[in-house]
Amino acid sequence: MYDYYLGGKDNFPADRAAAEKVLEIVPQVPFMVRENRAFLGRAVRFLRAQGITQFLDIGTGLPTQENVHQLAGEEAKVVYVDNDPQVLAHARALLQDRPHVRIIDGDLREPERLLADAGEHLDLSRPVAVLMVAIVHFIQDDPRPIMATLTSAMAPGSFMALSHACKDIRPEIAPGVERVYQEASAPFTARGSAEIIALFDGLDLVEPGMVNLPEWRPEDPDHVPFRDSPPYFLCGVARKPAR
């Protein structure tokens, strides 16, 4: 469905049918997913500028034009994690022969195993950037224990980047979207902004804090999408302080 929203060709009739139902409720979804990818790009460039050279991208999605390893720099080590066999097959086909990149069949709901596997490629005693972009809203249970496991494994000076569907901004549409995803393979749970900010517990949000996607460190001040229709995604980047 995400690939269809992005205008890609890696989708099936069932994906397209479910995505069309979401588009009937929220016609702005293609803009939102593009803004989400743009946030991911700006966040990775920001993290690289902070000296981060290790990236753990959880919920990678199908490879698109600007992937984390392309933005993170030649020398950066990248671990991609997903639990969707299609995503893993595409990623492996695209990324073979790249010694700095590793693809892991992992599940965010099993963070200890995910960290153990990622730790075979990344040095988790050194700062790392954990990317959780448009994935935590696929966790139906309370995600805070998962976040706590991940943040406690991160070395001081590490970062976490996150985007998450927010039901406060457009409460009227969240139930309809959740219903369509419920019928599809991946149930979807939008959360309130206070719940989303709480996911960064123990970390310090960097400026400008938790904001709508286009407002996070925009590179073009004239770029103001959603002027008439607010997005329903929040995003932010936070840093683990020194002990």
Ligand X SMILES: C[S@@+](CC[C@H](N)C(=O)[O-])C[C@H]1O[C@@H](n2cnc3c(N)ncnc32)[C@H](O)[C@@H]1O
Report residue 182: phi and psi, to 5°.
-60, -40
**Number of residues in contact with ligand X, rule: CB under 6 A?**
20
SS3 at position 58 = strand
Stretch near ligand X under the rule CB under 6 A, chosen from 36-44, 48-56, 176-184, 189-197: 36-44
Closest to ligand X by CB, 20 or 156 = 20
Tell whether residue 135 is a contact of ligand X (CB under 6 A). Answer: yes
| Separation between Cα atoms, residue 140 and residue 109, nearest integer Å | 10
Residue 82 CB, nearest approach to ligand X (Å): 5
CB-CB contact of 192 with 169 (8 Å): no
Report which residue type is found at 203.
Answer: L
| Separation between Cα atoms, residue 239 and residue 226, nearest integer Å | 28
Closest to ligand X by CB, 31 or 138 = 138
Tell whether residue 36 is a contact of ligand X (CB under 6 A). Answer: yes
Stretch near ligand X under the rule CB under 6 A, chosen from 16-24, 127-135, 176-184, 221-229: 127-135
Could you give the C-alpha distances from 81 to 68, 109, 129, 221, in angstroms and in order?
A: 12, 12, 13, 33
In the shown chain, the binding pattern of residues 138 to 177 toward ligand X, with x for contact by CB under 6 A and - for none, equals x---------------------------------------
Tell whether residue 3 is a contact of ligand X (CB under 6 A). Answer: no
- Tell which one of 32, 82, 169, 236 touches ligand X (CB under 6 A): 82
Report which residue type is found at 8.
Answer: G
Closest to ligand X by CB, 138 or 218 = 138
Residue 242 CB, nearest approach to ligand X (Å): 28
In DSSP notation, 185-241 reads SS----B-HHHHHHTTTTSEEPTT-SEEGGGSS-SSTT--TTSSS--SEEEEEEEPP
Closest to ligand X by CB, 63 or 127 = 63
Tell whether residue 134 is a contact of ligand X (CB under 6 A). Answer: yes
Positive or negative torsion for Cα 130, 153, 87, 19: negative
Closest to ligand X by CB, 8 or 241 = 8
Closest to ligand X by CB, 112 or 156 = 112
| Separation between Cα atoms, residue 43 and residue 217, nearest integer Å | 9
| Separation between Cα atoms, residue 162 and residue 131, nearest integer Å | 6
| Separation between Cα atoms, residue 161 and residue 31, nearest integer Å | 20
Residue 156 CB, nearest approach to ligand X (Å): 25
Binding positions for ligand X, rule: CB under 6 A: 2, 36-37, 40, 59-61, 81-84, 87, 107-109, 133-135, 138, 186
